[in-house]
Structure 1
Amino acid sequence: MKRLTLILLSLMILLAACGPAPAPTPVPNALFVDPKTSLGPISPYLFGTNYGPMHAVALEVMPLVESGGFTAFRFPGGAWTDEVDMKPFQIDQLIAFAGQAGAMPTISVRLLDGLPETAADLVRYTNLEKKYGVEYWSIGNEPSIYTQLGQATYDYTTENLNRDWRAIAEAMKAVDPTIKLMGPEIHQWNDSLETTPKDSAGRDYMIEFLKANGDLLDVVTVHRYPMHSPSNGPVTVQQLRENTRKWAGEIAYLRSVMREILGKELPIAITELNSDPSSAQLQEVSPDTFYNAIWYADVLGQLMDADVFMVNQWVLSQRSTGLGLFQGTAVRPSYYVFPLYKNFGSEQVYAASGVADVDIFAAKREDGALTLMVINLLDVEQSLPLQVEGLELTEAEVWRLDATHNAENLGTQAISDGSVTLPAQSATLFIIH
């Protein structure tokens, strides 16, 4: 566990220092990759999800959880965090479950009506008594809407958040100074001061939180469900397609706020992410649909480009909405994004697309293979030139997620005349050995 801690610390320093990758210069009407231009390490924790007592996984799909490539589990996830005091046996269950999946656990303690001594006891049990070595901890879930959702019966402002969070954080750090604190876990981050969450007095939750508690913070966390529009009708494919272009701006704005308030940048985690937070399902592009999976595959690539430290999809399993990767024993399409990226590399290299709504992300693996993730967001098949600097492409191992393949290995395929064919609405992984 000590070795893991050193690795994680080194990774955080690297990610915080290097900042987002430079914007690639596209080759018109082609896909281009330069394997010799390294953009630095890819955080392994981009491929996380949320899991908790309200999100039990059916025994029948446990093999898929174990082989899915999940790298981080946020626990207990959602509003439950602030409704119940977590018990030690639940932490035991988390550690066992995360171990089965090979994922790093992160734990959220109660903020609303939570007691500093209760949070401190959880840290003591987890890391001192049981020696589980859980490094990343957060406090509360979406305090920016406690009042709006009726969780708080009074006006829960930035002042309440800053005071309550700090008292709990200091108690936790007093027990184990080595833990890393994440926050503030606010809802619906966006790309400007005009669009980010405010309290009833108009104070910005993120800005005020960083002013008050930035000295205790290790990772800045936000939630994002960009398609939540209850009054505007069902989401469309075109809206999801256009949304993939907005993530870079939202991350850049968050970094600018950190620089202004803290004088530095901290690692960023999006600890809840899906297209729509509502109970929508069985619609054209609700979270349970195939196109949501293609959107999510592209969003992960965008966040990779932005050097985000951690992403937790919402949610691993849920029976009552379209949000779960699993609904009982049923497997939702977005699950297959994870095993697809499981085969992706760990060192990002330069890649650019000169074709609108076709994106490419590239990385080297430890075994020396070059991996290319190509997302066709369009509704029609694309046949495009693929140029890899210094290589004459003749063949590649192909994995595909599309309407007829669930992240399936299609074997080694020839690349004719340096061009690749991308099915409509697809994510294709090319592995070049």
Structure 2
Amino acid sequence: MSPDDPTTTEQSMPRGRTHRRNRTRRRIVAVAVAVLVAGAGAGALALSANAAPSVDITVDAGTSLGTVPSTAVGLNTAVYDPNMNDATASSLMKAAGVRQLRFPGGSYADAYHWKTHTLTDGGWVAPGTDFDHFMASAKRVGAQPIITANYGSGTPQEAADWVKYANVDKGYGVKYWEIGNEVSGNGYYGSKWEVDNHADKSPTAYANNLVAYAKAMKAVDPKVKIGAVLNTPGYWPDAVKAPGDNADWNHTVLSIAGKSIDFVIIHWYPGGTGTADLLNTPAKIAGATSAVRSLVNTYAGAHAASVGIAVTETDSSMSPALTSQAAALFASDTYMSWLEHGAVSADWWDLHNGMGTAPTTVNGETDYLDQGVLSSGKCVGGKCEPARETPFPTYCGIRSLTALAQPGDTMVKASSANPAVAVHAVRSSNGGLNVMLINKNPQNAAQVSLSYAGYTPAPGTVRTVSYTKGGTALTTATRGTAAAQTLPPYSITTLQLKPSSATVGNGIPSPAPTPTAATPTPAAPVASAAGTIGTRAQATAAGAPIVRADRNSTGGDLAATGMSNAVTYSAAGGLLALAAGSVLVLRQRRSRTSHGG
């Protein structure tokens, strides 16, 4: 995934996010251990290899957490991926229940010009990945598109023309439009990975321009929904107030543009020093959504309740596990946690990505250090991935959601007495109740006892759909009962329960109380040696800036992407980072001299 000599061939295509998985990322993780452990909190999950938990699970089928949106399960695609439109990939996405596809690919979006299928300053894009080809794939998958309009090097008119082409000329009916990718990474806070050619890079300028984009785009099609880029609560540069500003990015943007938007955008790349840390992180989602919802309620006026929260990028790349089983467990748990707390969608990064370094071993499994859900079939250091389009465990973790829920089903309250087992429950439209149980222990089975309120399952053995460690697909069986199950180590098991004749309350469950989770607090900075290369998400966890050093040189671990004037970065006053959000190796080298900050 990180070629030394980029061309437009499949073997050496540039990709958006491999940078997170190079060797320097390992060094950053080692440096950040202390602060990440400190930030885990007193309630952090501790998984013992010698512990076989006996866990009580309670399902309150009468308390609704909301309806599963039609856009719930999303995936990122990118114009630098020559395999983006493979028929096999489309078939696998459809089978996994993917209902939303994001385009044109993270930070690429702020340099991408849709009419010419080119990038600002002549960067590389793969043939056959233009907007119309993307839309053909979205149609095959049965997914709604979410488009990131070019804010960094584009204009409101360019975005309005895209809306006209998509919805008036072609009749595609593209509803969701983001304005920019990770715009606060434009250098305004001292860290630059995002293209932004505006003379004024402040949050005030973004907010005013955002209003102009919304006005121009809705003049073409009043039905489109416009999204504003926010910083994820608790992650740098959230809460940072630049000199001369009255407020931080989120407060400033929403105070100006809150009444002109339809949804807000955050990216979720939680950190961790190990797989147990990674599997703890979905518990933090309640606090993040509470903080975002509070901001929206403050600034969006009368239509605040209709403003959605879209998590347009997420994955496990800030942990040691990307394609091994822990990442699969994280994926299913993360999607459901966001949806249960009110997100309208979550989009995994990404369809194809490729290895950043040679594979490693995580809990006895090979991890190819690939952020794609499907293999690109690439090799690094003489070590090769499985054949192209082979599903990784992350794909199976996402596909496990098809056994739990379909759009329109009702998510209901469920709780676990032990964080080593996560639980999610859904009332299906046919009167059934599906319960997903995630055993986070890598070595030991978990004995689970389940009780129910507002629903009486039929007696006898139950149908289960499982994904277990080392598996290559979901497996269906009839085993255990609605009251007792044995969960294999590191597994996802969904019980598909039928109602007994005694079940009452088969109508719409009552809403759950509004959560009051506390707003997350940003972690403290951590020191880093000069020359260390990392990612924005790692800096986010440490609260440190990214500083551009030598604009005209290429770092030893940086692979070329075909972009001009690649740069290296060095630490200054804290942990160094390159990028988070949407582009891997590419983001290491995305910034060019003409976009200086």
Give the TM-score normalised by structure 1: 0.83
Shift of residue 209, structure 1, vs aligned partner: 0.9
Match of 1:158 in 2: 203
Alpha-carbon distance in structure 2 between the residues aligned to 1:382 and 1:44: 33
Q: State the match for 1:291 in structure 2.
A: 326
Q: Deviations over 1:277-316 (max 9, x none)?
A: 6xxxxxx733222211111211122212212111111111
Query: How far apart, in 2, do the equivalents of 1:431 and 1:404 lie?
Result: 23
Pairwise CA RMSD:
2.5
Q: Deviations 1:352-406 (Å, cap 9, x if unpaired)?
A: 2122321211112222221111111223210111123433542221111221334
Partner of 2:261: 217
How far did 1:49 drift? Answer: 0.9
Choose 1 or 2 for highest CA Rg: 2
Equivalent position to 1:268, from 309, 316, 323? 309
Report how far residue 169 of structure 1 moved. Answer: 2.0
Can you list the C-alpha shifts for 1:22-77, whole angstroms capped at 9, x where unaligned? xxxxxx94112233333331223221011121233345444312312101011112
> d(CA) in 1 for partners of 2:90 and 2:220?
35
Q: Which residue of 2 aligns with 1:423?
A: 488
SS at match of 1:215: coil
Q: Aligned to 2:448, which of 384, 387, 390?
A: 384
Q: Percent identity?
A: 26
State the partner residue of 1:42: 68
> Partners in 2 of 1:260 and 1:62 — Cα distance?
41
- 1:178-223 Cα offsets, whole Å, 9 max, x none, are 1111122x45x12489844655656421111111111111111111
Q: Which amino acid in 1 is paired with 2:337? A: Q
Pick aligned residue for 1:118 from 138, 143, 158? 158
Q: Partners of 1:112 and 1:131 in 2: how far apart?
A: 27
- Counterparts of residues 407-422 of structure 1 (less than 5 Å): 407-415=473-481, 418-422=483-487
Could you say what secondary structure the match of 1:30 adopts? strand
**Relative to structure 2, which stretch is displaced further, 215-224 or 390-399?**
390-399
Matches within 5 A, 1:366-385: 366-379=429-442, 380-385=444-449
Q: Quote how far apart the aligned CAs of 1:125 are.
A: 0.7
Q: Kindly tell me the number of residue pairs found equivalent between the two proteins.
A: 391
Match of 1:327 in 2: 375
Which residue in 2 is equivalent to 1:190? 233
- Cα distance in 1 for partners of 2:244, 2:466 equals 50
Structure with the higher fraction of residues in strand conformation: 1
Residue 120 of structure 1 deviates from its aligned partner by: 1.1
1:405 alignment partner, SS class: coil
For structure 1, list consecutive stretches of 5 or more residues without a partner in the other structure. 1-27, 228-233, 278-283
Pair 1:341 & 2:367 matched: no
Q: Does the CA-based 8 Å contact 1:325-1:331 persist in structure 2? A: yes
Instruction: Tell me what 1:363 maps to.
Output: 426
**Secondary structure of the corresponding residue to residue 163 of structure 1:** helix
SS at match of 1:69: coil
Aligned-partner SS, 1:235: coil
Q: Corresponding residue for 2:466?
A: 400
The structural deviation recorded for 1:145 is: 0.1
3-state DSSP class of the match of 1:246?
helix
Q: Does 1:78 align with 2:106?
A: yes
Distance 1:168 1:269 in 2: 19
Q: Verify the 8 A CA contact 1:317 1:327 in the aligned structure 2.
A: yes
- Greater helix proportion: 1
Q: Distance in 2 between matches of 1:158 and 1:182?
A: 15
Listed one character per residue, the Cα deviations across residues 105-159 of structure 1 (whole Å, up to 9, x for unaligned) are 1111100121222111111111111111111111111000022126347662212
Of residues 234, 240, 251, the one that matches 2:289 is 251
- The separation in 1 between residues aligned to 2:239 and 2:487, in whole angstroms, is 37
**C-alpha distance 382-276 of structure 1, shift in aligned 2 (>3 A):** same
- Residues 197 and 74 (structure 1 numbering): CA distance in 2 closer, same or farther, change over 3 Å? farther
SS at match of 1:413: strand
Q: Bigger relative contact order, structure 1 or 2, given CA contacts below 8 A and separation 6+?
A: 2
**SS of residue paired to 1:292:** helix
Q: Distance in 1 between matches of 2:497 and 2:116?
A: 46
Aligned 8 A contact 1:79 1:141 in 2: yes
CA contact (8 A) 1:144 1:198 kept: no
What is the deviation of 1:82?
Answer: 0.9
2-structure distance, mates of 1:393, 1:111: 57
Structure 2 CA distance for aligned equivalents of residues 406 and 430 of structure 1:
20
Task: Determine the structure 2 residue equivalent to 1:304.
Answer: 339
Match for residue 352 of structure 2? Answer: 317
Q: 1:197 to 1:275 in 2, by over 3 A?
A: farther
